[in-house]
Structure 1
């Protein structure tokens, strides 16, 4: 029975699939760990940049306070009182290394030299006129200095932060993150030197953050390869876990390949993959041969075996209980394919669908039928449910309620293959049916076997007495067609009028009739 997608695999193929299954967790796990490490480092550099900005803001807050306190002294003589005030700010304010005063853009008094040589001030050296990262002064050449300038008219006060404090902050905030302090075109790195080139762009976790109070920003990041070094230092247990899952997946794949797929599992897989398709066989009127409807037959479009005959999978589907969801899916697909062409149908076009005993355990079938009919204009189609006799349908309260609800909905009931099952007459007595479908074995005996013909005549006569419609299946010859029409059979079905066909072919043939 062709119920498995994959045929027997070679040992080489099985080994390859096992290897792929084992490698997949590793191939997926390592990039995920890399991505996680990268995100962790990005978050770390962002936090370090925030801390660096906070530290530098704190240093500049002290320089600003010192400058504010000294600004009123600008323009006064650089005597001992003024010099003492300058040195007092250096002593009282953390991080402040030196203070100076200027008048009319000329520095004339400092905390280091008192009344020294006058030197001019170039405001363009200062970013926003306030901040200058310079590479030392005559006292400490080649040593970074961050100068804060505060002016009011001709008055000016300066307070500077030694590069030692700046460099320490850059080095000590994080062991792994490289930090750069940038003020205008100049920047200071962990080497303590002021550079005038473009600031570095870090290959890992590059991040920039500007101060909201002062004209500087911090650039943070890590060197090439830092992600792998971080993973090597922090993730050994996770690497071991990934390898364990890889071995487990490989073993599981090997076991699953050895285990044969159960037919029920294959049916369920096919149902989820929408591999069960509706095929349509025309049903014609016995007198005029006009196409009056069709029977919907389920076919399995197997991805490997092609089109599978229903006798190979329908009994298994009924036995496993999967026939119920399979039939509901078939009804939905049938409605989706036929509804756009409903204008081609005659009013009350019959659509026959087989149901089994499994459908009669509850009232869900009513909802499925209501959903099916709702896809068509009112009165355009008549849904006919055909009771198969592979499983006996017990006449319980649920089944009686089910058939009553179906009749109220306008759904008709037919007994399929009438005369071949032990329950046919019992169904007539227990259920309110509308049609009998004569089994094709009786039709095939027309003109061949007298006994079978008498049974056929009795079935036709019985349907007349019970006021039931009758359908003859398996009509293949003109002689059979003529005999059945003479006997007053309502509808005919068989290869003489058309084989089961897919929806597009059925619609084309229907339009031509």
Structure 2
């Protein structure tokens, strides 16, 4: 049940915290899974790139062998070496053509025989490899050219770009790969580009050949990690969601438990937030303060002063009212005891109790501790029975009431006339006072039926020789009527509202001395 009338904020931290706590393991799990996926993708990419490097090196090994075999023929007439050039093409599956050059001029080709074309060593990376975007025979078709020579003459062997594309497309069809030679690079699209290959969005890897001047770059697109997550980790992803939901629910349950009425009342009890308020009770005739009813108030650190109707019923329902009352009695005794000289002998202090207080004899110790704070006879403790819970006449209850009377503690029946068991209580227990409920007092002069009931209660108390206290007196008409009916005590806003301890002591000290103090009270006891 709510302890204040304030509505909780729609997006308070208590509402958001379970979501945050539940989301945290999911985010951490996703982060770990993403790291693992990136690591696996990088390992896969590294392995793939290494395979491409090895494959291209095997191609170049064959091409290099063919070129090295033709190197001694460089400079000889084309008609003498044409057959040898074509023989190397036939023997090596990767070699598309072989050529010889002399004085940096290509003069003999396995495809065309005699030929005349300049050879620029600067076109070749490290003078050895050149990635071409086609030639005059196959324009726009990639070629890999291998050159070897010395002193301006040597051999050239070409590789069809399809052999390179096979490595790029078949070794890893879901990976972005590229072969770079100098300023040019070949991608899986089959085109030769100028510049630097683009960096892969995920698991980018670059591997350089230790034997030839080329490198291979690989990696995956931006959607690859999520694709792997969905395809390979659905069970783990589901487990994360379940764990996150369970943790969020556990956090919500714990917060609800920690912020529950029971937990909040326990916290307030430990923090001494339940404080006494005092409403004076005046006697008939001279209307002097004959005592005060102690009312429990909750001084909440954030909500301020909490109304008793918002927490007392729950405290009685949960059984926490007993330790709360015990703490209230102790605070009351400690607060009043230093100023006991302000009170006349027999000053009544009323404390409300319920059925929970009557289930064992622990109340005796609480009352004894309370009375020990005051000089003998200075205070009369009155326990006011409320009827929100039925008090059963068990042997323990009867023994409790008997010992309370032996101790000098009086019993009052609170709100008499409104509960279902008031008359039973009069028959079963020894009652000292009846407290007339304010609903009857409020009808004085306006409701004939309620006034007849009031007169009957007063007549009953007289016949049973019980004291009587009228609650809720707010007007002079009510005061005077009760005075004519010889009601012993009156209590209500006409005389004073409930007030905290300091204000009560100040008001008590401000009464005329002839009405309240014995002679010789030292001024230093007066509260400031």
If the length of structure 2 is used for normalisation, what is the TM-score?
0.51
Please give the per-residue CA displacement for 1:401-428, whole angstroms capped at 9, x wherever unaligned: 0000000000000000001111111111
Where does 1:324-363 land on structure 2 (aligned, <5 Å)? 324-363=322-361
Choose from 277, 284, 288 the match for 1:286.
Answer: 284
Q: Which whole-Å CA distance do the structure 2 matches of 1:356 and 1:381 have between them?
A: 22
- Provide the residue aligned with 1:3 in structure 2: 3
Q: Which residue of 2 aligns with 1:323?
A: 321
Q: Counterpart of 1:89?
A: none
Q: Deviations over 1:67-111 (max 9, x none)?
A: xxxxxxxxxxxxxxxxxxxxxxxxxxxxxxxxxxxxxxxxxxxxx
Structure 1 residues 255 and 472: CA distance shift in structure 2, 3 A: closer
The answer on whether the counterparts of 1:18 and 1:254 sit within 8 Å (CA) in structure 2 is: no
Structure 1 contact 286–490 (Cα < 8 Å) conserved: yes
The range that moved more, 268-277 or 376-385, is 268-277
Q: Distance in 2 between matches of 1:2 and 1:421?
A: 26
Q: How far is the alpha carbon of 1:2 from its aligned partner?
A: 4.1
Partner of 2:479: 481
Deviations 1:262-300 (A, max 9, x none): 211211121111111110000001211100100000011
The structural deviation recorded for 1:10 is: 4.3
Unaligned residue ranges in structure 2 (runs of 5+): 25-245, 512-528
- Residues 258 and 264, structure 2, Cα contact 8 Å, conserved in 1: no
Deviation at 1:312, TM superposition (A): 1.1
Secondary structure (helix, strand or coil) at the match of 2:374 reads: coil
Task: Give the RMSD, CA atoms, in angstroms.
Answer: 2.9
Pairwise CA distance, 1:400: 0.5
Which residue of the other structure, out of 243, 261, 269, is the alignment partner of 1:271?
269
Shift of residue 3, structure 1, vs aligned partner:
3.0
Which residue does the alignment assign to 2:297?
A: 299
**Does the 8 Å CA contact 1:18/1:253 hold for their aligned counterparts?**
no
2:420 pairs, out of 419, 422, 444, with: 422
Q: Distance in 1 between matches of 2:13 and 2:346?
A: 59
2:377 equivalent among 379, 382, 396: 379
Q: Residue 6 of structure 1 contacts residue 304 of structure 1 at CA under 8 Å; is this kept in 2? A: no
- Whether contact under 8 Å (1:281, 1:296) holds in the other structure is yes
**Alpha-carbon separation, structure 2, partners of 1:348 and 1:249:** 60
1:258/1:450 Cα in 2 relative to 1: closer, same or farther (>3 Å)?
A: closer
Cross-structure match for 1:389: 387
Q: Is the contact made by 2:380 and 2:408 (CA closer than 8 Å) also made in structure 1? A: yes
User: What do the CA deviations read for 1:44-69 (whole angstroms, capped 9, x no partner)?
Assistant: xxxxxxxxxxxxxxxxxxxxxxxxxx
- Bigger Rg, which one: 2
Corresponding residue number in structure 2 for 1:43: none
Alpha carbons of structure 1 residues 381 and 250: separation in structure 2 relative to 1, 3 Å: same
Change in Cα spacing, 1:372 to 1:260, as seen in structure 2 (3 Å) is closer
- Would the alpha carbon gap of residues 371 and 260 (structure 1) be closer, same or farther in structure 2, given more than 3 Å must change? closer
Paired residues of 1:400 and 1:431 also in contact (CA < 8 A): yes
The alpha-carbon deviation at position 352 of structure 1 amounts to: 0.2
Give the conservation status (yes or no) of the 8 Å contact 2:3–2:306: no
Aligned counterparts of 2:487 and 2:449: Cα–Cα separation in 1 = 19
- TM-aligned CA distance change 1:421 to 1:252, over 3 Å: closer
Partner of residue 448, structure 1:
446
Alignment correspondent of 1:432: 430
Q: Does the residue aligned with 2:440 lie in a helix, a strand or coil?
A: helix
Separation (CA, whole Å) in 2 of partners of 1:452 and 1:12: 51
Q: Distance in 1 between matches of 2:268 and 2:389?
A: 23
- 1:58-207, aligned counterparts within 5 Å? none
Residue 259 (structure 1) shift: 6.5
How much does 1:375 deviate?
0.5
Contact kept, 8 Å, 1:299 with 1:310, in 2: the verdict is yes
Residue 397 (structure 2) pairs with residue 399 (structure 1):
yes
Flag the 1:320–1:376 CA change in 2: closer, same or farther, 3 A: same
Count of paired positions: 290
Q: Residue 261 of structure 1 corresponds to which residue in structure 2?
A: 259
Distance in structure 2 (CA, Å) of the matches to 1:11 and 1:417: 41
Give me the whole-angstrom Cα distance separating, in 1, the residues matched to 2:343 and 2:458. Answer: 28
